[in-house]
Amino acid sequence: MKKLIVGNLKMNTTPSEFKSYAMTIATKAKGTKNSIVICPPYTHLSTAKEIFSGSKVSFGAQNISEEENGSLTGEISARMIKDLGTEYVIIGHSERRQKFKENDKTINKKIKTALANGLKVVLCVGETLQTRANKQACTFVRKQIDDDLKGIYENELESVVIAYEPIWAIGSGKNVTAKDIQKMVEAIRKEVEYLYSPKASKNISVIYGGSVGLSNCKKLLSLEFLNGALVGGASLDVDSFVVIAKENY
């Protein structure tokens, strides 16, 4: 089954380091059936355009402003990144929710801005360890989806991928069981069905993120209920990432 593999470089690599990284991926990704999306820092997007044009690799940004333009020193708009050929944007990553205090209202606005500018959205959702311990994980994530997708039309969901990322599994090496992922993916699809339709629920892509690496990618990506993976730490090592991204599951 064809999978979507998204690499989130976070605030790592310089533009020149990224150039050789991107060239390696573009070369080695040839022939893969999977869809590969690399999300580097904003400063690397023009290099991404230059190197990934005509290759199997797409690229995305890690954030956008919720506003279209204006007096917002230091912010980057959806239109700016779209103009650079960017196809995707990650919205609602837990690091932005926690460290930059983004709430569901802001995230909802960012999704609308992204879609209005023709970008595809990787919407990140996921619970804390405490929420999981309280047996509220599915309820919590369903509420995030409900709030984040408010006012988004069913036909726009074609451009939305939901990334389930349990916060406690990100960068921690902690593994979530396949059973827990399956339960969450079902909960996410139920919420999409409740908000939209059975068709929307069936068609939406749901990927998993949280310490996906060489040791567990095969197991995780062969789960037929998952459409792919969001890879953070392991995407920094180009050789590991190529193995994860190219694997034919």
Matching residue, tokens 């960012």: 110
List residues with catalytic annotation.
93, 165
Cβ neighbours of 101 (radius 10 Å):
8
Question: Does 228 help bind ligand PEP (rule: CB under 6 A)?
Answer: no
Phi, psi of 16 (to 5 degrees): -70, -35
**106 versus 211: smaller Cβ distance to ligand PEP:** 211
* CA geometry: angle 222, 168, 141, nearest 5 deg: 75
Least spacing, CB of residue 165 vs ligand PEP, in Å: 5
At 1, which amino acid appears? M
Verify binding: residue 211, ligand PEP, rule CB under 6 A: yes
Extract the tokens encoding 120.
């595809």
User: C-alpha distances in angstroms, 162 versus 123, 186, 226, 229?
Assistant: 5, 12, 11, 10
Binding residue count for ligand PEP, defined by CB under 6 A: 13
- Contact between 209 and ligand PEP by CB under 6 A: the answer reads yes
In the complex, least distance from residue 68 CB atom to ligand PEP, rounded to whole angstroms = 26
- The helix/strand/coil state of 28 is helix
| Binding of ligand PEP by 232 (CB under 6 A) | yes
Q: Does 171 sit near ligand PEP (CB under 6 A)?
A: yes
Closest approach of Cβ 17 to ligand PEP, in Å? 18
Helix (H, G, I), strand (E, B) or coil at 89: strand
Query: Which of 145, 231, 242, 245: binder of ligand PEP (CB under 6 A)?
Result: 231
Please give the residue ranges that form the binding site for ligand PEP (CB under 6 A): 8, 165, 170-171, 209-212, 230-234
